[in-house]
Chain A
Amino acid sequence: MELTRRQWMMLGAGAVAAAGLAPTGVLAKRMDEALSSFTGGAAVADGGVELSAPEIAENGNTVPISVSAPGAVAIAVFAEGNPEAEVATFKFGELAASQAASTRIRLAKTQNVVAVAQMADGSFARTARVVKVTIGGCGG
C-alpha cells in the first residue's frame, strides 16, 4: 500500500499544521493516551532501552528500526507525529534469547520515535530519537 505524506497530512491536517517535533493539540493527546494505555499511568524513567533508527529516512513508508532493552518483558514503539501514535508492541516470551527486535515502520513526517520498555520489576523506561523524513522526492 502506498501512503504518501500528503495523504497522511490531510488526515491529521489541523493538528500537524504546527510544524516541529513536540506534538501539540490532538497529536499530543493521542500520544499521552497511547503511552498511558501501555504504562497504566506509571512513571517512566529515561534510559534503559535502546532504539536505533536512521537519522534521515529516504522514504517514510519503510523506516527500519530496532529496539532492545535487556530484562524487559515488553517494548512498545510510538510515533509522536503519526495520526495514530501506536506503532507496535513486542512481548518477549520465555524462549526469547534477547529482549530485542527489528521491524519497518511508517512515519508521516519528521518526528520523534519513542520506545518504552516495561521491565520485569514493573518499572518503565523510555528513549526517543528524531527521524527526519525525506519529502519532495520524485513520486510514483
Chain B
Amino acid sequence: MKKTMITAATFVLLGGAAVAQDGSNLVINDELPMVTEAAAPAHLSEVLDTIYSGWRFRTPETQALQIDDFDNPGMIFVDAALDAYGTVEGAAGESCQSCHGEVGTFEGLRTKMPKFNAEAGTLWSMEDYVNNCRTERMQADAWQWSGADMQGMVALIAHQSRGMLMDVDITGPAQSWWELGREMYYTRYGQLELSCANCHEQNYGSMIRADHLSQGQTNGFPTYRLKQARLISQHNRFRGCIRDTRAETFAEGSDAFRALELYVASRGSGLSVESPAVRQ
C-alpha cells in the first residue's frame, strides 16, 4: 500500500481549519434509523478507526433534505423509476416486473454491490445488471451509465436496501479487483498529484477551498446532488474527482471504475445504504 505524505503544494489547496463531522443522528421519516458512523472494517485498521457517512459532513440545511422522504428530491426519480419498472419495453414484451415481481425482492442487493458475476467472469456494477436485463431479456436498448433512466432504476433497486449495512465481498474472484481498486485509491492523479486518500483518508473533515471533505463513502449512491439537481452515479462522481485533480479521467462503466467502486464500497462496510442520499 502506498501511503504518501501530503506535499507542501497540496497544503495550499487544503486551506482552512479542520471541521470534524458533526454528531447528528440520521433517522429518516421519524422511523428508519441509519448507521452513519461505524468501526472501520479490518482492512482499514492501520489508517482509520471510524468510518462516517458523507451525510455527517453536510450543513444542517443539506442534511434536512434527506431526513424526510418527501423533502428528498431524489425520491421523485425513484417514483418515476417505479413506473418504468412496471412498463413493458423492448421486442421481448417484458417489463422488469414481469421477471422480478415486486421491486421489494431486491432487498439486500445493494449491500453486496458491486459483485463478481461468475457467468460473465468479471466484476459487475448494478448498472451492468440493469443493462444486461434490458438488452438480453427485454431486447430493449441499453441505457447510458449515468443517464436519468439508469440512475433512477439503480436508485429504486438500491432503495429497497435502505438502512441495511454495506457488506461487499472482497474475497475469491473479487479479490484481484479489490486490489486493483486499492492501488487506484492510493495513486496520485493529475497535475495536482492528488490521490483519493489525500483528500478522503488523510484530510476528511478539513476544507478544500469551500468544500468540507468527507471520507468519500459511497453508501448513499445514487445521490441527489444539489449542484447538478439530479441523481448522480458513483462513476460520475469518481470522474468528477479525478478531473478535479486535472487528470485525464477514466470512463464511466470502465473496468478501472468498477474496481474502484468495489474498493471504496469495502471502505464503507458497516454503514447503512442511504440511497438516494442528498449531498451538496
Contact = CB atoms under 8 A, between A and B. Distances in A.
Interface string A106-135: 000000000000000000000000000011
Interface string A55-79: 0111101111000000000000000
A2 B228 contact: yes
A58 B280 CA distance: 6
A138 B216 CA distance: 12
Given A2-B228, A58-B226, A139 B58 contact: no
A25 interface: no
Contact of B227 (A54, A56, A139): A139
A40 interface: no
Given A58-B58, A58-B59, A138 B229 contact: no
B64 interface: yes
A140 interface: yes
Contacts of A140: 225, 227-228, 232, 236, 240
Interface residues of A, number: 19
Interface string B262-280: 0000000000000000001
B39 interface: no
Contact of A137 (B209, B232, B243): B209
A136 B210 contact: yes
Which of A1, A4, A61, A135 has the most chain B CB atoms closer than 10 A to its own CB? A61
Nearest to B232: A140
A57 B211 contact: no
B35 interface: no
B280 A59 contact: yes
A100 B59 CA distance: 24
B37 interface: no
Interface in A21-55: 54
B210 A135 contact: yes
B203 interface: no
Contacts of A4: 227
A52 to B, nearest CB: 10
B240 A138 contact: yes
Which of B211, B227, B241, B244 has the most chain A CB atoms closer than 10 A to its own CB? B227
Contact of B64 (A56, A64, A136): A64
Contacts of B229: 1-2, 61-62
Given A57-B61, A58-B226, A137 B280 contact: yes
Interface in B27-70: 58-62, 64-65
Which of A1, A54, A56, A59 has the most chain B CB atoms closer than 10 A to its own CB? A59
A138 B211 CA distance: 7
Contacts of B58: 58
B273 to A, nearest CB: 23
A4 B73 CA distance: 19
A1 B243 CA distance: 21
Contact of B211 (A56, A62, A64, A137): A137
Nearest to B73: A62
A54 B59 contact: yes
Contacts of B210: 134-137
Nearest to A56: B59
Contacts of A56: 59
Nearest to A61: B226
Nearest to A106: B229
Nearest to B224: A62
B99 to A, nearest CB: 34
Contacts of B73: 62
B22 to A, nearest CB: 13
Contacts of B228: 2, 140
Interface of A: 1-2, 4, 54, 56-59, 61-64, 134-140
Interface of B: 58-62, 64-65, 73, 208-211, 225-229, 232, 236, 240-241, 243-244, 280
Name the 3 nearest CB pairs between A and B, nearest first: A136-B209, A137-B211, A59-B226
